[in-house]
Every structure is written in structure tokens, then in C-alpha cells.
Amino acid sequence: MIAPARKVGRKFQNPVETKVGGLSMIPKVLKLYLSNKDERVPRSPLGPFSTDTRIYQRPPESGLRVTWMGHSSFLIEIDGVRLLADPLWDERASPASWLGPKRFFAPPLRLEDLPPLDTVLISHDHYDHLGKETIRKLAGMKATRWVTSLGVARRLQSFGVAADRIVELDWTQSMTVTSLNGNGVTITALPARHFSGRGFHDRFETLWSSFVFKGDRHNVYFGADSGVWDGFSEIAQQYGPFDLTMLEVGAYNELWKSIHMGPDGAAEAFAAMGATGLLMPIHWGLFELAPHAWRQPIERMVQLADERGFKLWAPEPGAPTEVISGQEHRSPWWRMTAIC
């Protein structure tokens, strides 16, 4: 089951049979949006959130620290290596700068203020994970290694990243990133149940992946975008256990549950992985990408965690937060923004 990716012609295949909606789904989605009166976009501004970059001058005492920037963007410091994953500082998750899902809050820090990076990782090429302007700025600023899924290198090169700085990984392939201090973290690409492309014409032509980050002391699973499938238990058996498991909880609906798991799917996947360590909800809180209330994913995830006894790790955007074994972290930031 956990095997390299397959292609049929030019198109990569999912690890299990998966149907992805096409143009015929547009009327159904439009009906959902027109009939749904939930608070899909915050009525009052969120934040501002601000990262105190002075904290990066000293390594995390635990060896593992994560700064969540919202959605699926985060800076992870793991056993002496700094990795920036799916960075999205663009104003919109869209091909147009004037149209499409707009950020709920400004980035907690400027790209120019990021600490020195060892690696930038891009899980796949969707607009909410790969922003053109973000990549262009990082390409000119940070002389670092880029790691991504098969086929995504050409996207990065078109945005200014030098080809010799990019490593593409197939599912089950690994590479080791070494910091200037000699610390190493192994990055392994693994299957996910999703798809790729920047439009209807190029779907499945680049690969999408989840990833494992394994250092000397810590092991982290970044689920990226995925629907539920039967590979999660095998991933945990072969590559776990994990100190921190990042699973998507937002931008979901029954119409596309095969490619986005939502909070109930995240609970199912985490349970299949043994429910060890801490569960970090990602892919929520920054863009309107589905017809549900913007708080609903985290509200439901908190409820499920309490019911099932999962240890949740959910920090405030922009707050560099240490991951300590067995210790939950639940920031109430999303409750504090409610209108009184």
C-alpha cells in the first residue's frame, strides 16, 4: 500500500480509487454557498497576530518548536533544523490578485523577518499551498534547499527558484537536510489522497504528498491535504510513532470528502495511526474555501478530541510554541474573536 506513485499517461494516480469533481460540481457548490448563512468569513477582523522573532535567537529547549502561520503554513524547528512548509504570504489563494479567497488576517511576520532557513517544503501546487508572490520573494531572499513532490519543480523554477536548489521526491523517497551546525533531519514523502494542478487542464500532472520529518529526537507527520484512506495505519506502523501529527480539518464538505477529510476524518485517521502523541489541526482559519462557518472545523475538532481522549495541539497563529511530549496546547484565539 505504501508504495511509489503510479502514473497513467501524464497523470499521477491516488493510492486508492478517488473521484474528483469537475465542472459539473460547480452548480452544486454554488447552491451550497447561496443556501448557507453561516459565518464563513469573520465578521470582525482577526488579529493582528505578531511573531516575536527574538525567540529564534535561541533553540527550543524541547528540541521541537512550531510557528503556525495559519492554514497549512508553518515554520518548524526540529532537532536543530529549520523548515518552512507550504508558505503562503499571498493576499489571496487564487490565480488572480484581485479575486478569490482572501486572507482572514495578515501574516504574523514579514518574509524578510524569517530566521535563516535550512529548507522550504512545498507539498503540492494548489494555490492555497503554493503562492506565486511568496515563492518569488523567498527565491530571492533565502539561499536554501527546496523540497517538493514530483513535477512541482517546474512551478518553482517559473517563480524564480534555481533548479539546482530543488529536490523532488516520489512517495517513499527520502532525503536528509543538514543545517550549518551539522544537525540532520530526514524528510520522507508519503502518499496522500488528493490531487494537484493550477486549473482544470493540468490536474494530476504533478504529485501531491504527505511528509515525515524525522530528527535525532523527534518524529513529525505532516499530512498536508488528504481525504481518509486505509493507508494511515500502515504509515504509522512503518514511519511512526509520531510526536506531532498534523492533519487537515478545514475546507471540507460531503461533496469532496474523498480529498479533504475534515475534523471527523482527521479523528478517524488519527485513531488509525494509534492516536499517539499530539494532534495538530491544520488547513483552517485563514481562507474561505468551503461553505462551512470559519470556526466550525476547530470547534468540531475540539469536541471530537474531548470525546475520544485525543491530545490536541492547537497554537495561536504566529506564536512560536514548543511541543512538549504529552502536553496539550489549546489556544482559545478563535473564541476570543467572537462578537460580544
- The answer to whether residue 128 sits within a structural domain is yes
Residue with cell 488509525: 272
The DSSP symbol for 101 reads -
Return the percentage of the chain with pLDDT > 70, whole number. Answer: 95
| Tens digits of residue pLDDT in 129-162 | 999 999 999 998 866 899 999 999 999 999 999 9
Q: Which of 95, 134, 142 is nearest to 115 (CA)?
A: 142
| Tens digits of residue pLDDT in 5-48 | 999 999 999 999 998 876 666 676 666 666 777 899 999 989 99
CATH code of residue 201: 3.60.15.10
pLDDT at 339: 42
325/63 Cα distance (integer angstroms): 11
- The answer to whether residue 228 sits within a structural domain is yes
- The answer to whether residue 21 sits within a structural domain is no
Q: Give the three-class secondary structure for 326.
A: coil
- The answer to whether residue 6 sits within a structural domain is no
Q: Domain span at residue 148?
A: 62-330
What cell numbers appear for 105 in the block?
488576517
- pLDDT-derived band at 97 (thresholds 50, 70, 90) equals confident
Q: How many domains does the chain have?
A: 1
Contact of 75 with 69, CB cutoff 8 Å: yes
- The answer to whether residue 88 sits within a structural domain is yes
Indicate the helix (H) or strand (E) that contains 76.
Answer: strand 73-78
| Tens digits of residue pLDDT in 271-299 | 999 999 999 999 999 999 999 999 999 99
Between the alpha carbon of residue 233 and those of residues 50, 150, 200, 237, 325, the distances in Å are: 37, 24, 32, 6, 21
- The answer to whether residue 92 sits within a structural domain is yes
Mean pLDDT of 86-103: 94
Strand partners for 75: 67, 84
- The answer to whether residue 26 sits within a structural domain is no
pLDDT at 340: 36
Give the Cβ contact number of residue 303 at 10 Å: 12
pLDDT at 338: 46
Residue with cell 499551498: 129
In this model, does residue 220 exceed pLDDT 80?
A: yes
- The answer to whether residue 314 sits within a structural domain is yes
Dihedral through CA 150, CA 152, CA 156, CA 161, nearest 10?
A: 0
Mean pLDDT of 191-205: 94
